[in-house]
Amino acid sequence: MITYVNGEYVPRDKAVVSVDDRALMIGDAVFDIGRTFATVPFKLEEHLQRLVRSLRYVEMDGDGLYPELREATEQVLERNAEAVAESGDVYFEQIVTRGLIGAIGEDSNMNAPTVIVKLRPVPFAAFAPYYETGIDVHSSLLTTSFAGPMDPRVKAANRLANTRAELKGERMRKAGGAGHWTMMFNADGTVAETHGANISLVDEGRLIVPPRHQMLNGISLATLCELAEGLGIEIEARTITLYDVLNAEETILTGTSFSALPITRLDGIELRGGRTTYDRLLGAWKELVGMDFVAQARDAIAAGASR
């Protein structure tokens, strides 16, 4: 696939950045990831605006970089149109680093930023079965970034806490667990999100979401809330505890790859397992994007197995 790197469109295997880039040494970068549905980018503008907000937070010129990021994303999708169609939808990913590491005492903002836009096929096999079976989430003692040096709403490259939570999930999956998403907490012990997706609950018919300032403001979670409003479902933002998760009528995981999945177990504990509201929201999501992405994921696995 064609990738954009600092003003050039090059084959992916030719896309390189300097070993002196600040992202490699100290994780000085932000990024965003969206996906296409039927080859059409979903909520591209929302993803770009979240990236701009992240850039502002880390003291980079998000507004100034916006035109380049938008054009590069549209161009990368256009130049890879055939490959996108063949792969059955892709992630579009934007990465911005502060650029090269300078000498000690040198202004860290004096170098030009590194700007990358790339595509990746959506890994349908990683989540397709869970639309039906639900997913087992595991808890972790790791906390997310606290407000201050890195606000949890910033999609920053230095995500080692999330990575360690992800690794725990992989260990649990290999040990026989159904799924590998790991729940992370805020410093006060309330539920924040998983290592790569948001959590919401259904309680007394209302959709309960964590406060915006305590989590990554997921585009998929925002979409779930929009769909809930359209269906007349009340939305409440409040802190969530393990007690709430274990007693919720339904528990829902939202993320770019799969849109929404039902959570049916926590650390192997069976949750109440309802899915009435989830099924309504999933149906509305399919209507929103104009395709049955659940069937798409299922068919992709079947096609892979038949090769």
- Name the pLDDT band for 305 (thresholds 50, 70, 90): very low
Q: Determine the pLDDT at residue 106.
A: 64
Residue of higher predicted confidence among 173 and 11: 11
Does position 102 have pLDDT exceeding 60, yes or no? Answer: yes
Q: Supply the mean pLDDT for the chain.
A: 88
Q: Say which residues have a Cβ less than 8 Å from residue 117's Cβ, sequence separation at least 6.
A: 3, 4, 69, 72, 73, 76, 92, 93, 94, 95
CA atoms 45, 165, 227, 133: torsion sign: positive
Does position 189 have pLDDT exceeding 80, yes or no? Answer: yes
Q: What are 96's two structure tokens?
A: 């911005």
| Radius of gyration, CA atoms only, the chain | 20
Q: Are the CB atoms for 192 and 217 separated by under 8 Å?
A: no
* CA atoms of 291 and 287, how far apart (whole Å): 7
Does position 71 have pLDDT exceeding 80, yes or no? Answer: yes
Q: Determine the pLDDT at residue 92.
A: 97
- Name the pLDDT band for 138 (thresholds 50, 70, 90): confident
Q: Which amino acid is at 129?
A: P
Does position 131 have pLDDT exceeding 60, yes or no? Answer: yes
Q: Determine the pLDDT at residue 307.
A: 39
Does position 56 have pLDDT exceeding 70, yes or no? Answer: yes
Q: Are the CB atoms for 84 and 92 separated by under 8 Å?
A: no
Indicate the pTM of the whole model: 0.86
Q: Determine the pLDDT at residue 215.
A: 79
Does position 295 have pLDDT exceeding 80, yes or no? Answer: yes
SS3 content of the chain, % helix, strand, coil (to 5): 40, 30, 35
Torsion of CA 79, 257, 237, 239, to 10 degrees: -130
Ordered by where they begin, the domains of the chain are 2-122 (3.30.470.10), 130-298 (3.20.10.10)
Q: Strand, coil or helix: what is 258?
A: coil
Q: Determine the pLDDT at residue 116.
A: 97
Q: Which residues pair with 97 in a beta bridge?
A: 29, 114
Does position 154 have pLDDT exceeding 80, yes or no? Answer: no
**Quick one: what percent of the chain has pLDDT higher than 90?**
64
**Quick one: what percent of the chain has pLDDT higher than 70?**
84
